[in-house]
Amino acid sequence: MSLLVVGSVAFDALESPYGKVERALGGAATYFAVAASFFTPVNLVAIVGDDFTAEDEKIFRGRHIDTEGLERATGKTFFWAGRYSQNLNERVTLATELNVFADFKPRLPEKYRASQFVFLANIAPELQRDVLHQVKKRPKIAALDTMNYWIERSNAELRETLKHVDILMINDSETRELSSEHNLLRAARHIFKMGPSTLVVKRGEYGAMLVDKRGVFCVPAFPLEEPHDPTGAGDSFAGGFMGYLAGNGEKSDAALRRAMVFGSVLGSFAVEQFGLDRLRRLKRSEIHARARHFSKLTQFKL
């Protein structure tokens, strides 16, 4: 089943202890779409400026990514700059320039409106809601990601949008900020009152945790000796997670658990190299090999 995503397509300036890039193709929707397209066709809704070249757009070609919903406008593409600490666990945002996203009014192509799986990747909550409202029927799963930038600047809009989603997928510090609870289980209970019935907390090198009314499920992060650039790990996790669910058309507990593993697999590949470099040359066989490795990693007898 096809999967609809709205979110940022961006140019990023990245600095990590492993190097520096001035203009890497990035954006939450870009990482998400590339990761999810290994599992299912993806319909992309976003906007880019006239500095976005045919060469940049090649990232979407030769994959199952439909770009009819990718609007082009006069002006500059969304720009984000970030710097990582020595151990890659902390990052500071140095710049966020919305540029063409500031006046974006998304119009969903007719063929996108029947989407049953929807991912509202990181972008202004009012844009996320606008896209969700253009989908004809209530989707099987609507999931949302956001970040501190929107929690702080657009809190009321974000809370309004959250009323309409099933799964909230954010990192641990954002979970704490949004819920004003330090403990993640208490935070989950708080977030369930806002609308979502499932919370997926992305915890970087500590893996990810899913909480719903049935209980808690945890996956580790794949142990890597030399991660280079954590940018897009969360979006790639979301792409693997939602891509797997949409590809199989289900949302049972067993499917959600497998989706957590595929999310972790895609996130682990994303951090191996700068920007989208690793996902660009990733093969389906490598994804499945790493998923099998995950199964070994977590197996034990009692």
235 binds ligand AMP (CB under 6 A): yes
Q: Does 123 bind ligand AMP (CB under 6 A)?
A: yes
- Using CB under 6 A as the binding rule, whether residue 27 contacts ligand AMP is answered as yes
Q: Is 130 one of the binding residues for ligand AMP (CB under 6 A)?
A: no
Residues 88-117 that bind ligand AMP (CB under 6 A): 96
**143 belongs to the binding site for ligand AMP (CB under 6 A):** no
Asked if residues 44 and 60 have their Cβ atoms less than 8 Å apart, the reply is yes
Residue nearest to ligand AMP as judged by C-beta position:
26
Residue 3 or 170 having the CB closest to ligand AMP: 170
Residue (96 or 248) nearer to ligand AMP, CB:
96
263 binds ligand AMP per the rule CB under 6 A? no
Query: Is residue 212 part of the contact set for ligand AMP (CB under 6 A)?
Result: no
How far apart are CB 230 and ligand AMP at their closest, in Å?
A: 6
- Candidate residues 149, 194, 220, 286; the one interacting with ligand AMP per rule CB under 6 A: 149
Indicate which single residue of 141, 147, 200, 291 sits in contact with ligand AMP (rule: CB under 6 A).
147
Alpha helices in 101-215 (DSSP H): 125-134, 148-153, 155-162, 172-179, 184-192
Per-position b or e across 132-156, b if 16+ CB within 10 A of its CB: bebbeeebbbbbbbbbebbbeebee
Q: How far is the CB of 114 from ligand AMP (least distance, A)?
A: 26
Residue 204 binds to ligand AMP (criterion: CB under 6 A):
no
Part in contact with ligand AMP (CB under 6 A); list of ranges 25-33, 58-66, 192-200, 209-217: 25-33
- At residue 74, the 3 state secondary structure works out as coil
| The two three-digit tokens of residue 21, written as one number | 């890039």
Q: Does 259 bind ligand AMP (CB under 6 A)?
A: no
Interior angle at CA 109, CA 140 and CA 61, nearest 5? 90
Q: Is 292 helix (H, G, I), strand (E, B) or coil?
A: helix
User: How would you label 45-65 residue by residue, b for 16+ Cβ within 10 Å and e otherwise?
Assistant: bbbbbeebeeebeebbeeebb
Pick between residue 88 and residue 191 the one whose CB is nearest to ligand AMP.
88
Q: Is 268 in the site for ligand AMP (CB under 6 A)?
A: no
Query: How long is the chain?
Result: 302
Shortest CB 29 distance to ligand AMP, Å: 8
Q: Rule CB under 6 A: is residue 264 a binding residue for ligand AMP? A: no
Asked if 233 is part of the footprint of ligand AMP (rule: CB under 6 A), the reply reads: yes
Find the helix or strand (DSSP H, E) in which 241 lies: helix 233-248
Span between the terminal Cα atoms of the chain, in Å? 38
Backbone angles phi, psi at 262, to 5 degrees: -65, -30
Name 281's Cβ contacts closer than 8 Å, sequence gap at least 6. none
What are the residues binding ligand AMP (CB under 6 A)? 8, 10, 12, 26-28, 80, 96, 122-123, 147, 149, 231-235
